[in-house]
A and B are shown apart, each in its own frame.
Chain A
Amino acid sequence: MKILVAIKRTIDANVKIRVKADQTGVETANVKMAMNPFCEIAIEEAVRLREAGTASEVVAVSAGPAHVQETLRTALAMGADRAVHVETEAELQSLGVAKILKAVVEQETPTLVLLGKQAIDDDSSQTGQMLAALMGWPQATFASKIVLAEGEADVTREVDGGLETIRIKLPAVITVDLRLNEPRYASLPNIMKAKKKPIDVKTVDELAVDVAPRLKILKVEEPPKRQAGVKVESVAALVEKLRNEAKVI
């Protein structure tokens, strides 16, 4: 069984984000980048499935400028067998990425596509769902447990009320949640070995995909600064404030 894992390169989770002065986005120049943490979980799961003998090959795929190859190397160092880089300088939105992934899925014909449930930069949580729709495949989102069997998968999902387990037919798209596993770090020998694993580079044109953005970003702002607290004199005053100012009761 071949597993395809989609990877996004995002600003490192530890970096303090700064909005660009012109409010068109956030500063990325000289900012430390890393693999989106949910994508790490997806890679980890795929590698574990291969180590357990359930999967035979793990292919990591990412779209973006040349730099994303560094993130693909991380995936290779964590244990992916090979990688596909779809090169483009264009701005990519969820739908564009889903279309690119569809083209790659059609070439690679995996049995399972794993993605992070969302990326920590734009928090869209759309790519996996869009890919499933474009492929006409079953999907299971927010997975905290995946059990693969012949032609189907039992997936435990994190939903508002607790956990839900569903059975889907393969091939399918699964997006993974935080509690699925603890991703490994890339060991030094594996980092060196990853240098020798192949990355297949394609362009958006070769895949004949239209990635033109459908959404327009009007403005990016810092979240409002937290206001200083106030002391209230009595419970009655507190209730009054909660009701009329905060409007929470």
Chain B
Amino acid sequence: MSEFAGAREIRFQLYDLLDTEALATRARFSGQGRDVYDAVLDTAERVAAEYFAPHTRAADLREPWLEDGKVTLLPEVKAALDAFAAAGFLGAHHDEALGGLQLPWTVTQACLSYFQAANIATTAYPFLTIAAGNLLARFADEAQQRRYLKPMLAGRYFGTMCLSEPQAGSSLSDIKTTARPRDNGSYALRGTKQWISGGEHELAENIVHLVLARTEGAPPGAKGLSLFIVPRYRVNDDGNRGTANDIALVSLLHKMGYRGTVSTILNFGENDRCVAYLIGEPNQGLAYMFQMMNEARIGVGLGAAMLAHAGYLHALDYAKTRLQGRHPGGKDTTAPPVAIVEHADVKRMLLAQKAYAEGAMALCFYAARLVDDEMTAPDEAARQDAGLLLELLTPICKTWPSDYGPRANDLAIQVLGGYGYTRDYPVEQYYRDNRLNPIHEGTNGIQAIDLLGRKAGLEDGRALALLSARIAATCQEAFATQGLTEHARALEHAVATMRQVTETHLRALAAGKRNEALANASLYAEALGHVIVAWMWLRQALVAERRLAAAAPPEADYLRGKRQACRYFFAYELPRVAPLAAILERMEQTCAETSPDWL
């Protein structure tokens, strides 16, 4: 087991839970198989261990800095990104026609998870480039793809996402950046973008910014936003790098975590010489961006899960070797101290971390599989179902792991005691890094409003019905499995509770009471997230039960650990749904009715 990611864990998630090998029977993945997927995962683990993990702390201690006006990073970052590109990870999931390998999204996300666990901040550069590349592959025209996407897949150009502005964070409808048409079909861009990750650096020949902006005369609000390709350096017709495209670095931002990722404020078109190229149709910018963001959000959730998992592995290892104290029942004060992993309270903290981390991983890989199913499931109905379920699950993939991942890291610090609070151990950094995840790619508060206000009622409730049916199928299996019947009953009950709560809110929404209905959206997201993660744990326990009879240690211990973490989740976590549901059901308005003057 490598120190930052459990190889057995990822294989359990991919093969035991999701039967990923079965994807190879689909035309798009023909010729592939478990051997290919294993080899690809091995390469990911190795490149992550050799090129990413070693500079995680160094990049935290040395945030990107300006040297002669240039953004400068530790040289290890570029070496890691070159290795990432050379190994072929940037284009692995794309069509062969684009030079890709047509690997399933599930598999490439699993690869990504190794890098996230090893070094989330350095991984952000390819993460953004892959996301931007997916968007171009879907919506850009052929000439744009040739000019910008090809070099991105080769690792020569990197990508960014430019949505946020100083006055427009959660509220993208307030975006002010403007695009004025020029004679030749391109646009002149002007505006300030805030927070742009990877916005300026010398890691790549060029940076392709994907910028949301408003064309002249476009309608106000989100309906008037268009999406543009804005290269840092213009690209000549022969593909060579041209002149600088009038994008100024206003400043670097200094952060709590994710410090290896350069965060920038950028001014576009200070001299009115910033050329932008429209992607697709005007005024469709947000729609395009969100298609891409949906995949990115699953990736954010997965990153949060992997940081939680990395912290768990570290805390576990520590707890097995740190000797301290004796069992409360022991009478002999001269007896040697026990390893802290023997203490029930430490076990509680470890089980919670395991339950959060591996539950969140299961959720994100499940969603990644839905991305594959939406694209390649053999029949049309299955593809549609996958797409619908994905829409419902996406905000939960973003919020639940990013909410509970930092909690896991918080517990990892606690397990290490004072040592966990020092920079000599990695757990405090995991916490700081993970703390970004509830904020970016849409805050968890905004995600929750999207979940309750839009997704819960999708297609007249068909999305939620589909989810309930899938959970019910798992419960049926669990009812037939000794030791899991109580869990199945509890989960069925929790699903019924959440359906009831959802009904209540959908009715209020239909009656126009949006303020009241959405006042507790965050609680709704948390409660529904807990139910879904309980489902994920029941699925894992079912696999464990099936396998245990024929398993010898260490595999048998691994499977018992799965069973026990499931038991933990049902005993300590799922019961939290009921009180949340009670607050929701009565549409508690304490917060909504609080005057800002009283605070």
Q: Residues of A within 8 Å of B, CB-based: how many?
A: 27
Report whether A15 and B89 are in contact in the complex, using a CB–CB cutoff of 8 Å: no
Report whether A187 and B43 are in contact in the complex, using a CB–CB cutoff of 8 Å: yes
Q: A77 CA to B88 CA in the complex, in Å? A: 13
Report whether B46 and A189 are in contact in the complex, using a CB–CB cutoff of 8 Å: no
Report whether A188 and B89 are in contact in the complex, using a CB–CB cutoff of 8 Å: yes
The contact of B38 among A20, A29, A70, A195, by CB within 8 Å, is: A70
B30 CB to closest chain A CB, in angstroms?
Answer: 11
Report whether A34 and B101 are in contact in the complex, using a CB–CB cutoff of 8 Å: no
Is B40's beta carbon under 8 Å from chain A?
A: yes
Report whether A34 and B2 are in contact in the complex, using a CB–CB cutoff of 8 Å: no
Report whether A187 and B87 are in contact in the complex, using a CB–CB cutoff of 8 Å: yes
A72 CB to closest chain B CB, in angstroms?
Answer: 10
Is A192's beta carbon under 8 Å from chain B?
A: yes
A window 6-42: CB within 8 A of B: 12, 14-16, 18, 20-21, 27, 29-32, 34
Is A175's beta carbon under 8 Å from chain B?
A: no
Given contacts A18-B554, A27-B552, contact A189 B101 (CB under 8 A): yes
Sample 28 A-B pairs with CB under 8 A, ordered by A number.
Answer: A14-B1, A14-B2, A18-B553, A18-B554, A20-B552, A27-B552, A27-B553, A27-B554, A29-B551, A29-B555, A30-B8, A31-B554, A31-B555, A32-B8, A70-B35, A70-B38, A73-B35, A74-B42, A185-B43, A185-B47, A186-B42, A187-B43, A188-B40, A188-B43, A188-B89, A188-B92, A189-B88, A195-B32
Is B534's beta carbon under 8 Å from chain A?
A: no
Residue of B nearest to A191 (CB): B39
The contact of B42 among A34, A69, A194, by CB within 8 Å, is: A34
Residue of B nearest to A33 (CB): B38
Q: Which A residues lie within 8 Å of B38 (CB)? A: 70
Is B185's beta carbon under 8 Å from chain A?
A: no
**A 172-198 to B, binary, CB cutoff 8 A, 1 in contact else 0:** 000000000000011111011011000
Given contacts A15-B1, A73-B39, A195-B31, contact A188 B103 (CB under 8 A): yes
Q: A185-B50, A188-B40, A188-B89 are in contact. List 18 more A-B contacts (CB 8 A).
A: A14-B2, A14-B7, A16-B1, A27-B552, A27-B553, A27-B554, A31-B555, A32-B7, A32-B8, A70-B38, A73-B39, A74-B39, A187-B88, A188-B87, A188-B92, A188-B103, A189-B101, A191-B39
**B 39-73 to A, binary, CB cutoff 8 A, 1 in contact else 0:** 11011001100100000000000000000000000
Report whether A192 and B101 are in contact in the complex, using a CB–CB cutoff of 8 Å: yes
Report whether B42 and A192 are in contact in the complex, using a CB–CB cutoff of 8 Å: no
Q: Which A residues lie within 8 Å of B592 (CB)? A: none
Q: Which B residues lie within 8 Å of A195 (CB)? A: 31-32, 35-36
Q: Which A residues lie within 8 Å of B496 (CB)? A: none
Q: A27 CA to B558 CA in the complex, in Å? A: 14
Q: A70 CA to B37 CA in the complex, in Å? A: 11
A17 CB to closest chain B CB, in angstroms?
Answer: 10
Q: Which B residues lie within 8 Å of A192 (CB)? A: 31, 36, 101
Is B86's beta carbon under 8 Å from chain A?
A: yes
Q: Which A residues lie within 8 Å of B50 (CB)? A: 185
Report whether B553 and A191 are in contact in the complex, using a CB–CB cutoff of 8 Å: no
**B 15-43 to A, binary, CB cutoff 8 A, 1 in contact else 0:** 00000000000000001100110111011
A window 48-105: CB within 8 A of B: 69-70, 73-74, 77
Given contacts A14-B2, A15-B1, A18-B554, contact A187 B35 (CB under 8 A): no
Size range of the chain B interface in the assembly: 20 to 34
CB-based A-B contact count at 8 angstroms: 71
Q: A73 CA to B31 CA in the complex, in Å? A: 14
Q: A30 CA to B544 CA in the complex, in Å? A: 14
B588 CB to closest chain A CB, in angstroms?
Answer: 49
**Footprint of A on B, CB under 8 Å?**
1-2, 7-8, 11, 31-32, 35-36, 38-40, 42-43, 46-47, 50, 86-89, 92, 101, 103, 551-555
Q: A147 CA to B161 CA in the complex, in Å? A: 51
Q: A189 CA to B94 CA in the complex, in Å? A: 12
B297 CB to closest chain A CB, in angstroms?
Answer: 25
Q: A151 CA to B201 CA in the complex, in Å? A: 52
Given contacts A32-B7, A185-B87, contact A191 B31 (CB under 8 A): no
Residue of A nearest to B558 (CB): A30
Q: Which A residues lie within 8 Å of B47 (CB)? A: 185
Q: A186 CA to B38 CA in the complex, in Å? A: 12
Report whether B101 and A188 are in contact in the complex, using a CB–CB cutoff of 8 Å: yes
Q: A31 CA to B7 CA in the complex, in Å? A: 10
Report whether A191 and B36 are in contact in the complex, using a CB–CB cutoff of 8 Å: yes
Given contacts A14-B2, A32-B7, A73-B35, contact A191 B551 (CB under 8 A): no
A226 CB to closest chain B CB, in angstroms?
Answer: 12
Top 10 nearest A-B pairs (CB, nearest first) are A188-B88, A30-B555, A191-B39, A185-B46, A187-B87, A187-B88, A185-B43, A189-B88, A188-B92, A70-B35
Q: Which A residues lie within 8 Å of B553 (CB)? A: 18, 27
Q: A34 CA to B50 CA in the complex, in Å? A: 17
Report whether A186 and B43 are in contact in the complex, using a CB–CB cutoff of 8 Å: yes
Q: Which B residues lie within 8 Å of A69 (CB)? A: 35
Q: A74 CA to B86 CA in the complex, in Å? A: 17
Q: Which B residues lie within 8 Å of A32 (CB)? A: 7-8, 11
Q: A34 CA to B86 CA in the complex, in Å? A: 22
Report whether B39 and A186 are in contact in the complex, using a CB–CB cutoff of 8 Å: yes
Q: Which B residues lie within 8 Å of A21 (CB)? A: 552
B190 CB to closest chain A CB, in angstroms?
Answer: 41
Report whether B86 and A187 are in contact in the complex, using a CB–CB cutoff of 8 Å: yes
B63 CB to closest chain A CB, in angstroms?
Answer: 29
Q: A191 CA to B87 CA in the complex, in Å? A: 10
Given contacts A27-B552, A188-B92, A188-B101, contact A77 B39 (CB under 8 A): yes
B419 CB to closest chain A CB, in angstroms?
Answer: 21
Q: Which A residues lie within 8 Å of B89 (CB)? A: 188
Q: Which A residues lie within 8 Å of B2 (CB)? A: 14
Q: Which B residues lie within 8 Å of A77 (CB)? A: 39
Q: A31 CA to B558 CA in the complex, in Å? A: 11
Q: A74 CA to B89 CA in the complex, in Å? A: 17
B14 CB to closest chain A CB, in angstroms?
Answer: 13
Residue of A nearest to B103 (CB): A188
Q: A189 CA to B88 CA in the complex, in Å? A: 6
Q: Which B residues lie within 8 Å of A188 (CB)? A: 40, 43, 87-89, 92, 101, 103
Q: A188 CA to B107 CA in the complex, in Å? A: 12
Q: A125 CA to B479 CA in the complex, in Å? A: 54
Q: Which A residues lie within 8 Å of B35 (CB)? A: 69-70, 73, 195
B466 CB to closest chain A CB, in angstroms?
Answer: 34
B547 CB to closest chain A CB, in angstroms?
Answer: 9
Q: Which of B39, B87, B103, B551 has the most chain A CB within a 10 Å cutoff?
A: B39
Q: Which A residues lie within 8 Å of B555 (CB)? A: 27, 29-31
Q: A194 CA to B39 CA in the complex, in Å? A: 11
Q: A12 CA to B86 CA in the complex, in Å? A: 24
Q: Which B residues lie within 8 Å of A73 (CB)? A: 35, 39
B105 CB to closest chain A CB, in angstroms?
Answer: 14
Q: Which A residues lie within 8 Å of B32 (CB)? A: 195
A192 CB to closest chain B CB, in angstroms?
Answer: 5
Q: Which A residues lie within 8 Å of B103 (CB)? A: 188
Q: Which A residues lie within 8 Å of B40 (CB)? A: 188, 191
B307 CB to closest chain A CB, in angstroms?
Answer: 20
